[in-house]
Structures are given as C-alpha cells and as structure tokens.
C-alpha cells in the first residue's frame, strides 16, 4: 500500500547576510530578519531600562542595540576579562531593579583560569558609558574553568538577583558542596550581600546540583525556569525552587535508573519538567513567550540551542508546571544559537554563537535575528513567483522549472529534515518519512518562489 507525502513549497532565506525567512506557526506567518551582524560570540541579550536591547560579547564588550533599526553603540570594553579554554570571558548581565535611582549594570565574567567575578558598573546615560566599577560583589569566590561556567543573571519578584553557575567542567563533585559556587544557583542582594530570607541562612546558595545551567528566566506566569547542559542525551529544563538538590553528578536528567531513583528518593531531588532525550541539543538561553502575535507559541518556553542549532518551542500546560509539546524551528538555518529575548511587543531577538570554539562562522557572523508574528506586524504571506515541479507525484527526485539558490524541506513543526545547498533544479525526497512537509526556496535573483499542493508518493 502506498502512503503519500504532501509537499508545499514556500519561502526560504537566501544565504546572504540580508536573509529573511518566513515560516508558519499554525496559521501565523513568522518573519525572521537579520538585524545586526559581524559580531563575535554575543552571549547575553537583555532588555534595558531604556527600551534598547543590551548584549554582552565573550571578549568583554557591552553594547546597546536599537531594536527598531539594529544600530549599535559600544558602552564598555572590559580591561580585566580573561578568555581561555572553550566558553569563557564575559557572560551574563543584569540591571539594578531601581535603575532610575541606582543606574547599575551587573556583569559576570572570568578574570583568570580559576576565578570569575560579579561586578557592578555605574552607567552614565549622558555619555552612554560606565563611569565606575566595583570589586567582586560577593563574599563567596566564584570559580572558573575552561567551560561550564554558566551563566545568566535575573532578578526575582523581591528585587534580589539569581545567577546560574556551572561546575566549571572538572569539579562535578563540588556541585553538592554548599560551600562552593560550583553547580549552583546563587541569590544575592543588589549590594552583593546575602539576603536575609535566603533558604540557607548566611549562604548565597539558592539551590544546587547543576552541571552547566546556561539559561534562566522569570516568566510572566510567576515561575522561574532554567535550562542546563546534561551529559549525553540528558539536557534539561527545570523549575527553579529554593533549597533543593537537582541531582548532579549522580542524577543525569530524569530519575530513571536504579541508582538515580535511590538517590532522588533520599535527597528529594527536583526532576526536570523536560528532558531532551533524542539528541544532544546543548540548551543555552531561555525565554517565556505569551504574546498574541504568535498564538501557537503562547504559554511557551523558547530555548536557544548550540549543538542543536535550532530554536526549541516547549509548550507548557495551563499550570506552567509541565511541558506538553516540543517543537523545533530554524533548524540549521543560522548555526549555533546562544540566547533568546522576548520583548513586550512580542518581537523575539536571538543571537548566534558561530565564532565560539565549536562554530563554523560565515562571513557575516555572528548575528542577531529578530522574529515577528503577523498578528503584531500585519504581515501576510509574501508575494511569490509560482513554479512547477515534475514528476508529480514522485517517489524520488523532484525537478523544478526554476533554479533555486537553496532548497530546504521542513516537517510540520518547522524542523529542517532535508536541504540541498547551492544552486539546484532538483531535490531527492526518497529518504523522507511519509507525512506533511514544507519545501522552501528563492531563485538566484532573490525572488521568493512558491509551488503548492504537490504530492510525493514513495515506494
């Protein structure tokens, strides 16, 4: 019995830096544009109190970006940042909760092969620069290593800071030592002191037992989530709770082996609400999306992935306590994705990380992308040139009557399952699993091309 594959041809970005991609989420078109380029490992995207998108680069720069036109302003370059190993340098950034009266910016970065610091910088809006710098704010030393340094900084509902710190690659056992920073989420006051209501009196430790938590977000539903690199197929997303053990290094992801189950029962371990079990995605920045501009993504976590080279959309249940669907978008379209930021107007900013230790940069990398749904922009399906394919139906090679610069096949979730780079008039679909797909392409002149209701019928 033959099964059919329905193939719909819609738009794809060109390979140039001016690439613009449109993809569907339900019945909503989502537009993707490159708004800034020629960056080098942008790490943390943060919405500034001035309405600009601020971001850090691993090499020590802090920038402000106009979210409307992508124009950049260099605010500061760190003199004491130290890069070594794989993922080091300047990482996370946050703003004082009363920025109007106390215009401080907080930065976490490595200053040696063994030490990182959290410092605050006084921001002068008239000159758009930092005019004063503190010493390391915390009385607890923050460890550093060649990788697995974390990190993200956010504020909680009470105006205290939370920062996620990794186990620095070689100190996994210390993730259970409450006297160190390794593998912890720490909580500190704006002046660097230990908050009186911290779960462990006299300690910065908010919770422990993490491997490499690179994502941290306080969602609109009131829940704090974090994403973390596991080992092998155990990357995870967690709900951040005080005074709790997250299991590392004994527990990898879920409590699902005899050893893990015994440890989890004995230590009241918090299990992840989602584990990426099919592949290693290396989740980094995480954001909460609940804007009507993209209805299909409302009440979702958006996770930027490094090794996965995709944006993962985790649909939450009504309580926000469980993930009910995991979908992939922008797979292999822009390379490694480091962070994601959701703006109040529903725009989504994502930064790439192709100049890092494992990336393969193109000429215009690294880049910042902006995603926007049609409900907020008035976008409609792009005007396109139509073309035909043959044979139709087909069980293998499809030929097109126009040369395309690139052809990409996406499944129903927007996940890239097949692509043919370069200029081509054909693509072989014989390896696809029967189901519904999207094929996207533009011609060599940059003209969007579209062909509809095409059927492939594999053997």
Backbone angles phi, psi at 221, to 5 degrees: -85, 5
In degrees, rounded to 5, the angle at the alpha carbon of residue 117 between the alpha carbons of residues 112 and 118 is 160
DSSP type of residue 378: -
Neighbours of 50 (CB within 10 A): 13
Q: What is the tens place of the pLDDT at every residue in 119-134? A: 999 999 999 999 999 9
Q: What percent of the chain has pLDDT over 90?
A: 73
Residues in Cβ contact with 305 at an 8 Å cutoff, skipping those fewer than 6 apart: 281, 282, 283, 284, 311, 312, 336, 337
Element (H, E) at 375: helix 374-377
Domain hosting 404: range is 5-12+383-456
Q: Among 311, 332, 353, where does a domain finish?
A: 332
Tokens of 392: 């139709």
Regarding whether 426 and 286 lie in a shared domain, the answer is no
Domain final position from 294, 313, 332: 332
Residue, of 165 and 16, whose pLDDT is higher: 165
- The tally of CA atoms less than 13 A away on the side-chain side of residue 144 is 23
User: In the predicted model, is pLDDT for residue 380 greater than 90?
Assistant: no
Sheet arrangement for strand 184-188:
153-155, 161-165, 184-188, 205-208
pLDDT reading at 158 higher than 50: yes
Name 69's Cβ contacts closer than 8 Å, sequence gap at least 6.
Answer: 35
Residues 302 and 400 in one domain: no
> 80 and 180, same structural domain?
yes
- pLDDT, tens only, 195-212: 999 999 999 999 999 999
Q: 144 and 65 share a domain?
A: yes
Whether 64 and 143 share a structural domain: yes
Of 268, 86, 250, 260, which is closest to residue 173 (Cα–Cα)? 250
| C-alpha dist (Å) from residue 414 to 143, 198, 418 | 40, 42, 11
Please give the pLDDT value at position 434.
Answer: 65
**pLDDT beyond 90 at 139:** yes
Residues 354 and 363: beta-carbon distance below 8 Å: no
Distances (CA, A) of 191 to 135, 302, 387: 11, 31, 63
Q: Answer whether 313's CB lies under 8 Å from 297's CB.
A: yes
pLDDT band at 397 (very low <50, low <70, confident <90, very high): confident
pLDDT band at 378; cut points 50, 70, 90 = very low
Q: What's the CA gap between 41 and 397, in Å, rounded?
A: 39
| pLDDT above 70: residue 221 | yes
User: In this predicted structure, what is the pLDDT of residue 385?
Assistant: 65
List the one residue out of 57, 13, 15 whose CA is nearest residue 38: 57
Q: With respect to residue 317, please indicate whether it lies within any of the assigned structural domains.
A: yes
| DSSP class of 382 | P
**Is 25 within a domain?**
no
pTM of the full structure: 0.80
- Answer yes or no: do 313 and 390 share one domain: no
Clarify whether residues 308 and 411 are in a common domain: no
Burial class (CB within 10 angstroms; exposed 0-12, middle 13-18, buried 19+) of 402? middle
**Considering the chain, what is the average pLDDT of its residues?**
88
> By mean pLDDT, which of 82-91, 337-346, 416-425 is the weakest?
416-425
CATH of residue 405: 2.60.40
Tokens of 35: 């708004």
For the chain, what is the domain count? 2
- Whether residue 253 lies inside any domain: the answer is yes
Q: Is residue 368 part of a domain?
A: no
Is there a single domain that holds both residue 268 and residue 393? Answer: no
Asked if 441 and 325 sit in the same domain, the reply is no
- Per the domain annotation, does 378 fall within a domain? no
Query: In a 3-state reduction of DSSP, which class is residue 190?
Result: coil
pLDDT greater at residue 157 or residue 434: 157
d(CA 437, CA 451): 13
**pLDDT band at 12, cuts 50/70/90?**
very low
- pLDDT over 70, % of the chain: 86
The residues, ordered by sequence, that sit 6+ positions from 58 with a Cβ below 8 Å of its Cβ are: 40, 41, 43, 83, 87, 88, 89, 90, 91, 356
**Predicted local confidence at residue 140, as pLDDT:** 98
Domain annotation covers residue 137: yes
Asked whether residue 184 falls in the same domain as residue 56, the answer is yes
Q: How far apart are CA 72 and CA 63, in angstroms?
A: 7
Q: Is residue 216 pLDDT above 90, yes or no? A: yes
Give the separation between CA 78 and CA 59, rounded to whole angstroms.
Answer: 8
In the predicted model, what is the mean pLDDT of residues 325-346? 95
Q: What is the arithmetic mean of pLDDT over 62-76?
A: 96
pLDDT band at 428; cut points 50, 70, 90: confident
Count of beta carbons in the 10 Å neighbourhood of residue 412? 11
Identify whether 167 is part of a domain.
yes
For the stretch 268-291, pLDDT in tens is 999 999 999 888 999 999 999 999
CATH number at residue 167: 2.120.10.30
Token pair in block for residue 263: 């440890």
User: 143: closest CA among 177, 105, 171?
Assistant: 171
420-441 mean pLDDT: 74
* Residue 331, both tokens: 């797979």
Segment 224-247 mean pLDDT:
96
Do both 122 and 44 map to the same domain?
A: yes
Domain boundary among 306, 332, 358: 332
Q: Per the domain annotation, does 345 fall within a domain?
A: no
- Give the pLDDT score at 348: 97
| 324 lies in the same domain as 407 | no
Residue 97: name the closest of 109, 89, 105, 87 by CA: 105
pLDDT of residue 402: 81
pLDDT tens by residue, 288-329: 999 999 999 999 999 999 999 999 999 999 999 999 999 999
Q: Determine whether 46 is exposed, middle or buried from the number of CB atoms within 10 Å of its CB (0-12, 13-18, 19+).
A: buried
């Amino acid at each position: 019995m033959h099964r059919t594959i329905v193939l719909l041809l819609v738009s794809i970005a060109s390979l140039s830096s001016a690439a613009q991609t449109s993809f569907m989420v339900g019945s909503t078109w989502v537009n993707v544009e490159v708004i800034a380029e020629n960056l080098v490992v942008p790490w943390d995207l943060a919405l500034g109190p001035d309405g600009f998108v601020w971001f850090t680069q691993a090499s020590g720069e802090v920038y402000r970006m106009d979210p409307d036109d992508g124009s950049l302003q260099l605010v500061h370059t760190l003199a004491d940042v130290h890069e070594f190993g794989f993922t080091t340098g300047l990482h996370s950034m946050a703003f004082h909760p009363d920025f109007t009266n106390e215009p401080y910016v907080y930065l976490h970065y490595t200053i040696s092969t063994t030490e990182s610091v959290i410092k605050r910088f006084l921001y002068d809006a008239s000159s758009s620069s930092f005019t004063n710098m503190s010493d390391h704010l915390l009385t607890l030393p923050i460890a550093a290593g060649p990788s697995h340094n974390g990190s993200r900084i956010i504020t909680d509902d009470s105006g205290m800071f939370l920062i996620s710190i990794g186990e620095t690659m070689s100190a996994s056992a210390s993730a259970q030592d409450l006297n160190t920073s390794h593998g912890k989420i720490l909580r500190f006051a704006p002046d660097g002191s230990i908050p009186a209501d911290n779960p462990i009196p006299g300690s910065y430790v908010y919770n422990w037992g993490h491997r490499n938590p690179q994502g941290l977000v306080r969602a609109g539903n009131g829940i704090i989530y974090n994403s973390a690199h596991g080992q092998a197929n155990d990357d995870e997303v967690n709900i951040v709770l005080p005074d709790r053990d997250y299991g590392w290094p004994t527990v990898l992801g879920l409590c699902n082996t005899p050893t893990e189950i015994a440890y989890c029962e004995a230590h009241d371990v918090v299990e992840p609400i989602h584990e990426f079990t099919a592949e290693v995605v290396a989740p980094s920045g995480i954001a909460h999306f609940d804007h009507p501009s993209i209805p299909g993504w409302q009440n979702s976590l958006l996770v930027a992935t490094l090794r996965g080279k995709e944006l993962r959309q985790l649909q939450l249940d009504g309580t926000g306590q469980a993930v009910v669907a995991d979908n992939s978008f922008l797979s292999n379209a822009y390379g490694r994705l480091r962070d994601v930021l959701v703006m109040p107007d529903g725009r989504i900013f994502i930064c790439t990380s192709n100049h890092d230790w494992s990336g393969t940069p193109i000429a215009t990398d690294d880049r910042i992308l902006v995603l926007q749904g049609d409900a907020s922009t008035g976008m409609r399906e792009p005007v396109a040139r139509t073309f035909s394919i043959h044979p139709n139906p087909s069980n293998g090679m499809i030929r097109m009557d126009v040369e395309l610069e690139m052809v990409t096949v996406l499944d129903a979730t927007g996940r890239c399952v097949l692509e043919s780079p370069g200029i081509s008039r054909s693509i072989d679909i014989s390896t696809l699993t029967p189901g519904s797909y999207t094929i996207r392409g533009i011609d060599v002149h940059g003209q969007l091309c579209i062909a509809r209701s095409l059927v492939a019928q594999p053997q």
